């Protein structure tokens, strides 16, 4: 059997340009920084993980720079000499030396899964119990352009059968202007595609109580995290108020968070990001709690590159509890391809990569091109 002992861990920061600016409630980005974590075994197998946050440290306090420091200074000593098949023990030991830092931990967790699966010659989903499905629905995030341009983009994607569900970011503009823009788009797409919104936790209670019902009346089919993540009582109030699903994102980053959302009836859906949860192992704990409580889970994105996206696709395809579709569109937002063979998107779906490990191979020339100096 191949020697599974870890002999080296390397990190690399990339800055990959996007096809267009991607706007959040508090920031806009034209390139996505990625932290590649490469774990190599004595048997000569290398597994890759990806540290990535949506738009920088504003979301969860981490950045590629902090992740690199945490991995190199504190996590690498825990890894060296251990087997890549010791994921449970390794991740438990990392918890003893590093609090929080879930995005950094996710990069390591995925690299271990990739290396172990490659050593066995099996796909990552096999380590998660096998593929429950071979593809999942994928929602596309629309930009911050004027409504007419957004409508044209969405209709083009529907016509090409690439996407049938769309998400719009809110929270950066005046709520009155923002709501009117979203309603215009939702009504133009009614009967052709679904429209959902994400406020990135930027509205206070009174603003949300005023504008969320208007959005629902205007045709919005899902409301994601309108109010601050810690204010579960407000999210629960909104969840009782409107007839469409309310989705918790910032409110759920740990299994205990999921338990609190369930206990308070704060959301119908949880946005499950393998990144914010700390990797595939912790993500399974969150989904298990949601399933027990009758809460749906959506495969959400941190705008991952191909490695993080592939990991989340394996998770979503192996986990029946990811039962509310996904938004694993990250690589489509990148203007440069980092893989030898791109992840496949068609007919409103993203397809499970085939092959050992994550089922993808990096184009090392492209990686070199976009490596930060």
Instruction: Name the 3-class secondary structure at 30.
Output: strand
Q: How far apart are CA 19 and CA 4, in angstroms?
A: 39
Structure tokens at 270: 């949880």
Task: For residue 192, indicate whether it is catalytic.
Answer: no
Is 217 part of the annotated catalytic residue set? no
Distance CA 312, CA 323 (A): 14
Distance CA 237, CA 281 (A): 31
Phi–psi pair at 356, nearest 5 degrees: -65, 155
* Catalytic residue selected from 167, 169, 276, 281: 169
Give dist(CA 130, CA 117) in Å, integer: 12
Q: Which residue has the tokens 């769309």?
A: 166
Q: How far apart are CA 49 and CA 39, in angstroms?
A: 8
Take residue 312 and report the two structure tokens written for it: 């989340």
d(CA 177, CA 197): 14
Backbone phi, psi, residue 168, to 5°: -120, 135
DSSP-assigned states of every residue in 59-126: TTS--HHHHHHHIIIIIHHHHTTSBTT-HHHHHHHHHHH--S-HHHHHHHHHHHHHHHHHHHTSBHHH
Q: Which two tokens stand for residue 29?
A: 């980005």
What b/e sequence results for 164-195 when a residue is b if at least 16 CB atoms lie within 10 Å of its CB, and e otherwise?
bbbbbbbbbbebeebbebbbbbbebbeeebbb
Residue given tokens 């049938």 in the structure block: 164
How many degrees, rounded to 5, is the angle at CA 266 between CA 264 and CA 269?
Answer: 130
Catalytic residues: 169, 327
């Amino acid at each position: 059997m191949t020697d599974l002992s870890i002999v080296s861990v390397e990190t690399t920061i990339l800055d990959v340009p996007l096809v267009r600016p991607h706007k959040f409630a508090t920031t806009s980005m034209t390139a996505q920084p990625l932290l590649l974590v490469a774990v190599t075994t004595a048997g000569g197998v290398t597994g890759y993980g990806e540290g990535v946050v949506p738009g920088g440290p504003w979301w969860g306090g981490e950045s590629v720079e902090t992740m690199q420091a945490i991995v190199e200074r504190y996590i690498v000593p825990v890894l060296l000499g251990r087997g890549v098949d010791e994921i449970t023990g390794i991740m438990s030991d990392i918890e003893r030396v590093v609090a929080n830092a879930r995005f950094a931990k996710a990069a390591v967790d995925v690299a271990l899964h990739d290396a172990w699966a490659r050593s066995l010659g099996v796909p990552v989903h096999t380590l998660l119990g096998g593929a429950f499905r071979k593809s999942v629905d994928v929602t596309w995030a629309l930009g911050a352009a004027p409504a007419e341009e957004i409508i044209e983009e969405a209709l083009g994607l529907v016509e090409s059968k690439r996407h049938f569900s769309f998400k719009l970011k809110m929270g950066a503009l005046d709520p009155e202007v923002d709501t009117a823009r979203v309603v215009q788009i939702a009504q133009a797409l009614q009967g052709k595609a679904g429209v959902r919104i994400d406020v990135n936790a930027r509205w206070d209670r009174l603003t949300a109580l005023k504008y969320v019902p208007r959005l629902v009346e205007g045709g919005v089919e899902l409301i994601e995290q309108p109010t601050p993540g810690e204010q579960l009582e407000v999210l629960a109030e909104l969840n009782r108020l409107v007839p469409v699903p309310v989705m918790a994102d910032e409110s759920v980053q740990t299994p205990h968070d999921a338990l609190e959302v369930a206990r308070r009836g704060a959301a119908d859906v949880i946005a499950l990001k393998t990144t914010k949860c700390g990797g595939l192992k912790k993500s399974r704990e969150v989904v298990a709690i949601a399933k027990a409580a009758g809460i749906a889970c959506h495969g959400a994105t941190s705008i991952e590159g191909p490695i993080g996206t592939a990991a989340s696709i394996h998770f979503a395809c192996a986990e029946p509890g990811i039962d509310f579709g996904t938004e694993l569109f990250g690589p489509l937002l990148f203007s440069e391809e980092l893989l030898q063979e791109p992840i496949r998107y068609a007919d409103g779906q993203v397809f499970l990569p085939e092959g050992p490990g994550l089922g993808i191979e990096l184009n090392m020339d492209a990686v070199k091109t976009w490596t930060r100096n």
